[in-house]
Structure 1
Amino acid sequence: MVIDYINGLKTDEIFAMSKYQSEIHSRLNNIKLNKIEYPNLSKVAGVNKAVEYFAYPFIVKKKVNKNNIKHITRQDLAFLLELTDLEKTIVTCHDIIPIAYYKTRSPLWKLNAKGLRKAEKIITVSEFSKQDISKYIKYPEENIEIITPAVDHSLYFPNSSKKCLSKYGIGNDEKVILYVGAEEPRKNVQFLINSFSKLKNKIPHIKLLKAGTPNYLFVRKKLLEQIKALNLQNDVIFTGYVSETELAEIYNAVDLFVFPSLYEGFGIPPLEAMACGTPVITSNTSSLPEVVGDAAVQADPFNVEKFAEEMYEILTNEVLKEEMIRKGLKRSKMFSWDISAKKTLKIYKEL
């Protein structure tokens, strides 16, 4: 079976959506992908997006095969269904954050919404996202399939060592909290820094490590101003982009993983942290309770003091910490890339 795999920008970087697709399709041995992508022409903001909106529809139209199933791998490429005549289409829609959370009036997202309605099947990653797609896009629930992300346990597993933290100037005697992800407002990083500041009053020798690219430069600027105002310049460390191998090492090296996001379609990092035997605190919003179950502390992502108390409790209560590690390891094994791959193959065959 050949799938016209409409994947957008050609890149070697691994991030949440690309990881999801690569993990699933690496397990589909009898599927051949006709990858339809556009080249990475510039690092200047906006250039590649211009190519995506104005040139990519023509690339797709030229390279698709009428008889193949067309799989559009991201929700923000759904506009292609409005601009090109595609049959037998699946769209993987991880979330509809611009519509459901940011309430955007963007013409491009109106096009994406129209495109999503034209898909014969939508794959999404959680029951929460399924309900949002049905509610905001007015797409029939019976045509939405949930295929969850998972964890590669050959990469993410307990292997405790603090060695990798030395490159960030972190000593063996310091406690370390980790956040992995972007910095856009819904990720709630500003809240986390405020809460970390409260925690530092109780645990002086502690660092907050933030892994991932800035993605919103104006937000990074505000975060740096906030860090300076709180006198945390030596205590909050930005790693930038890290490879998956290094990320697994970092998960193992830290004492606590936090994920205070206000809105997530799924949220893979909490599962990865659990798989490495690291206790987790998430917010109690959107899909995150569905992801972590009772294996993580679910905290109010608006209450700075309470969030700091929850972090302090885990960092100082060994009995609680060990219980969370045990539950987290068990929870992470409930999500399987092999099962997700089988469900994807079933949809391809049905279509």
Structure 2
Amino acid sequence: MRIGIDCRQIEKAGSMLAGVEYYTLNLVQNLLKRYPQDEFVLFFEKNNANFLQANAKGACFPFFKAKRFLPLVYSHYLTARFIKKQKLDVFHAPANIIPLGYQGKSVVTIHDLAIYNHPEWFPKQSKFSQNVSVPRSLRKARKIISVSTATKNQIIERFHIDPQKIKVVYEAGNTFLAHLKCNERMPKPFFVRAQLRDQGLGADKRARAKNDEGFKRVINEFILFIGTLEPRKNLVRLIQAFDECLQKLSPEQQNLQLVLAGKRGWKCEQIDRAIESAKYKNNIQVLGYITEEKKQKLLKNCSAFVFPSLWEGFGLPILEAMAAGVPVLTSRVSALPEVGGEGVWYIENPEDTTELAKSLSKLITATPAALQELGNKGLVQAQKFTWQKTAHETYNIYKEVIKNRER
């Protein structure tokens, strides 16, 4: 098969990979590895040699500078004409949108349709994609990959798409902890560690960690959040709930920290104001975007992971936290129960700050045995999701589309 995949999301993100870019990168890497007999055409805007190998060809869109002056023409018609010239058996658009001008056999991955239920969470520049590009891509595609059943149901309900056209293919997480010893993956109970330990850091190394840009003042027990700092992540309520919980703790326990790691998103100023208004604002650290290495350190050393999002198409952050053996508290909304299963604790109504505070307090005051049990359940649940499985199921969809004679 000659398979084309749009890889521009990886290129645009550079080293700051988030959900869609992370999905595309891992899918491509696993497809190339598992199916050497097939030919993959990877579309970029500039030369990218990172993926080039015997079964992969890089194809750079010509005239990409035209998007500055003619963004619609470039994104939907010049690109479509170039894709057509590659004579593909199937084209995969892994980031929600197929170029409007492309008429060949295609597959599109839909990650999230939250913008249709909550447009207030997104910038107005998204209107064209919301009203034109995504609906037409759903109708145009021969098959639609949904990253969760929750998203599939939303596609059916809003766009009246035939359920048989939609296949659920789950994402997976980073497996960086797969080779660690079990005792290195055990959750760290609250209020038993005076300082951050990174596989037995000595005093000199702890001092360096204190000054590290990725950790700042994170030297005590801490609750971790990883994700884009944006309205739907519900961080304003999390900050208020955390502040309420600290007020109820004993003075010696009030060194607990909340660490927010992730790139700044739309309307993140609301989060800044919430921190500034918090009584225990000095216990809240905002690290910004973190490298993979720093993410691993944070996950290995946090006492718990909290993700009170109001809507997720999948829920990659909680999956990676579970894979690290970290106790997870998340919302029972959208796709998060599909990912978390019985391996996490849930906030039933994340829009209720009081309930969020109660759930957070339950986590903070849990016994070491309860936290270890939760972490172990998370490990078991996380093993159900692998990139090898994602690649295999996606490849089978390609074959199904190619065999279908419908034009």
TM-score, structure 2 as length reference: 0.77
Structure-2 separation of matches of 1:215 and 1:51: 26
1:195 pairs, out of 241, 259, 272, with: 241
2:256 pairs, out of 186, 189, 206, with: 206
Contact kept in structure 2, 1:193 and 1:227, CA below 8 Å: yes
Deviation (angstroms), 1:288 = 0.8
Deviation (angstroms), 1:51 = 6.8
Deviation (angstroms), 1:349 = 1.5
Contact kept in structure 1, 2:300 and 2:324, CA below 8 Å: yes
Structure-2 separation of matches of 1:133 and 1:277: 33
Q: Which amino acid aligns with 2:25?
A: S
2:390 pairs, out of 330, 340, 345, with: 340
Deviation (angstroms), 1:54 = 4.0
Structure 2 gaps, min length 5: 48-65, 186-195, 199-205, 402-407
Structure-1 separation of matches of 2:216 and 2:136: 50
2:81 pairs, out of 61, 80, 95, with: 61
Deviation (angstroms), 1:231 = 3.5
Deviation (angstroms), 1:303 = 2.3
Aligned length: 338
Contact kept in structure 2, 1:8 and 1:52, CA below 8 Å: no
Task: Provide the residue aligned with 1:322 in structure 2.
Answer: 372
Q: 1:74 to 1:294 in 2, by over 3 A?
A: same
| Residue 303 of structure 2 corresponds to residue 255 of structure 1 | yes
Structure-2 separation of matches of 1:39 and 1:267: 30
Alignment of 1:125-164 (within 5 A): 125-155=147-177, 159=184, 162-163=197-198
Identity, in percent, stands at 26
2:324 pairs, out of 267, 276, 290, with: 276
Using the TM superposition, name which of 113-122 and 26-35 deviates more: 26-35
Contact kept in structure 2, 1:4 and 1:34, CA below 8 Å: yes
What secondary structure, in the 3-state scheme, does the structure 2 residue paired with 1:177 have?
Answer: strand
Deviation (angstroms), 1:48 = 7.6
Deviation (angstroms), 1:308 = 2.1
Contact kept in structure 2, 1:117 and 1:138, CA below 8 Å: no
Using the TM superposition, name which of 53-62 and 12-21 deviates more: 53-62
Contact kept in structure 1, 2:80 and 2:102, CA below 8 Å: no
Task: Provide the residue aligned with 2:40 in structure 1.
Answer: 33
Task: Provide the residue aligned with 1:96 in structure 2.
Answer: 113
Structure-2 separation of matches of 1:149 and 1:335: 7
Contact kept in structure 2, 1:151 and 1:271, CA below 8 Å: yes
Deviation (angstroms), 1:39 = 5.2
Task: Provide the residue aligned with 2:104 in structure 1.
Answer: 87
Q: 1:49 to 1:330 in 2, by over 3 A?
A: farther
Q: Which amino acid aligns with 1:314?
A: L
Structure-1 separation of matches of 2:70 and 2:176: 37
- Listed one character per residue, the Cα deviations across residues 165-210 of structure 1 (whole Å, up to 9, x for unaligned) are 63334464x2201111112221111111111111121241111111
Task: Provide the residue aligned with 1:229 in structure 2.
Answer: 277
Contact kept in structure 1, 2:223 and 2:304, CA below 8 Å: yes
Q: Which amino acid aligns with 2:254?
A: P
Q: Which amino acid aligns with 1:190?
A: V
Structure-1 separation of matches of 2:312 and 2:218: 33
Alignment of 1:108-127 (within 5 A): 108-111=129-132, 112-127=134-149
Task: Provide the residue aligned with 1:43 in structure 2.
Answer: none
RMSD: 2.5
What secondary structure, in the 3-state scheme, does the structure 2 residue paired with 1:242 have?
Answer: coil
Contact kept in structure 2, 1:127 and 1:287, CA below 8 Å: yes
Contact kept in structure 1, 2:3 and 2:89, CA below 8 Å: yes
